[in-house]
Amino acid sequence: MAFYWYQSDPDLYRAEVQAMNKFFPSFTIHQLPDGSGRLYWRGKVQPAGPDGMVWDLMLIYKNDHPHAGASEYGGSIQILPVQPRLKDIATRMMPILEETYGSYENCVRHGFGLGLPHIYRDNFGRNEEYFICTADPKYFKTGMTRSTSAASSLSWACKWILLCEMWMNGEISDDVALEGNY
Amino acid sequence: MDNNDVVAARRRALQEAIHSGETVMVSPTGQVQLPGESDDPTRPGISVPQGKLA
């Protein structure tokens, strides 16, 4: 009996690998060592180009891939920045935001409750980690013949990273960063 | 225009393209680019699907 999506749908697994090898050939696929059976891609990107930051990312499939529940931001592929760690960046940004908005409660009201735009938190191993909200669930395709791949999710994540770097550099306003037309 | 100005102008163009919903590409190294910016025309990169951030 096939327990995991990559066993029950080998064509989808092959399509995922093919897309990643084509568009992001430096990424490699692994299985989490926690017994969950979850697969993940690991690799580095530099969304702002040669002068920008290097981001070491994990793209982790949920075992119900492809799937996108109403509150599953980014669908069944979670993007976890390993280095830099979002939680560390958010911790550094929070005091600046609190100064800007006057209090933590006001930061929450303005959408900056976690210290960065468009992120969410979830348990990962023994830690709580911050993940990138790559796209509203309604944009994550889950059909039998067409589903959002890790390659597409990674392209969304690269756009998010560029946005985040621009926002931290003061190149775009809080409102534009939160608007999410990125 | 010195190099810093060129870089800043490119970033503004990229920001405007993204914000107005125009197509942007992502190269194999993860660099977000305007269409046609790729150094290697045989590998133009992946076109970022439409989608609003959650």
- Residue A172 is given by DSSP the state S
Q: Tell me which residues of chain A, numbers 147 to 176, contact chain B at a CB-CB cutoff of 8 Å.
A: 148, 151-152, 154-156, 158-163, 166, 171-172, 176
Q: Where are the domains of chain B?
A: 1-54
Cβ contact, residue pair A181, B48, below 8 Å: no
3-class secondary-structure state, position A33 = coil
pLDDT at position A72, please?
A: 67
What's this model's pTM, rounded to 2 decimal places?
Answer: 0.91
Cβ contact, residue pair A154, B29, below 8 Å: no
Distances (CA, A) of A79 to A19, A75, A82, A85: 17, 10, 9, 11
- CA-CA distance, A160 to B53, in Å (whole number)? 8
Structural Rg of chain B based on CA atoms: 12
Helices (H), A26-149: 86-101, 104-109
pLDDT at position A134, please?
A: 81
Cβ contact, residue pair A51, B19, below 8 Å: no
| Nearest Cα to Cα of residue A149 among A66, A57, A41 | A66
**Residues ≥6 apart with Cβ < 8 Å to B39:** none
| Mean pLDDT within A8-13 | 90
Classify residue A176 by burial, with Cβ atoms within 10 Å: 0-12, 13-18, 19+. middle
| Mean pLDDT within B13-36 | 90
> What count of Cα atoms within 13 Å lies in the side-chain half-sphere of residue A158?
33
Higher pLDDT, A50 or A68: A50
pLDDT at A117 over 60: yes
pLDDT at A52 over 70: yes
Confidence of residue A140 (pLDDT cuts 50, 70, 90): low
